[in-house]
Amino acid sequence: MGRDPAHRRGHTRGMTNRGREPSPRPLVGILLFDDVEVLDFAGPYEVCSGTCDPSGHAYVDVVTVGPRSEVRCRGGLRVRPSHTFEDCPPLDALIVPGGPGADERTPVQDELLLPFLRERAGATATVASVCTGAFLLGRAGLLDGRRATTHSAALEALREEFPATAVVAAKVVDEGAILTAAGVSSGIDLGLHLFERWFGPAARERAATGLDGPWR
């Protein structure tokens, strides 16, 4: 029987910082909430958690964080975040996915998600969105005066809601501390872009090779 793709990637699956000694690796947090699009967060999670350096060590550690101990994703999948907002550790990067729970402004956003984003944005080196997660960044005041992108079907809505943002059609828009990615599977492109920015082209290629798809 052949070795599975995860093994070929030097993979250490499911790494989080809960119950572990502090790590010198960057800590990436992925936001979860009700009606989040699964691939929006699963794509960058796979890139970040599933790729190791040539010595077999993970490039980054990954945690998920949500407003409570369980969230119901779009389609009914239930996920237990590794941290709630109350016990989320300091992060080096925060990835914000989209989905129906991000598309329209809701009381949950105003009461929980947006305050968390505003608080963390001031203390996190990199904040990035996938798909309509850009709307959450915009509502948190993080896109004013910046270029940004989102799902192709939501570009005009993003322009209308955030006139101070230069909305463009692109796979990934990198504005330094703030990044935005296009729709759904573009979360994988975002993860690869971050790997190249943080660790160089060889790390990006290593991650892309493990995905064995059009990202190579």
| Burial annotation 150-175 (CB, 10 A radius, 16+ → b, else e) | bbeebbebbeebbeebebeebebbbe
Summarised one tens digit per residue, pLDDT across range 104-141 is 999 999 999 999 999 999 999 999 999 999 999 999 99
Query: Rounded distance, CA 149 to CA 35, Å?
Result: 21
The residue with tokens 């030097």 is: 10
pTM of the model as a whole: 0.88
Among the listed residues 40, 166, 173, 178, the one whose alpha carbon sits nearest the alpha carbon of residue 100: 40
Q: Which residues contact 31 (CB under 8 A, 6 or more apart)?
A: 41, 64, 65, 66, 94, 95, 96, 97, 113, 116, 117, 133
> Which structure tokens are listed for 209?
């090779």
Maximum distance among all alpha carbons in the chain? 56
Domains defined for the chain, CATH in brackets: 5-10+24-210 (3.40.50.880)
How distant, in Å, are the alpha carbons of 35, 66, 119 from that of 72? 6, 11, 24
| Each residue's pLDDT tens digit, 24-43 | 799 999 999 999 999 999 99
pLDDT at 33: 97
For residue range 57-79, what is the model confidence (pLDDT) as tens digits? 999 999 999 999 999 999 999 99
Q: List the one residue out of 48, 39, 43 whose CA is nearest residue 13.
A: 48
Structure tokens at 68: 């409570």
Contact predicate 190/150, CB 8 Å = no
Active-site residues: which are they?
A: 131
Please state the separation of Cα 204 from the chain's center in Å.
Answer: 16
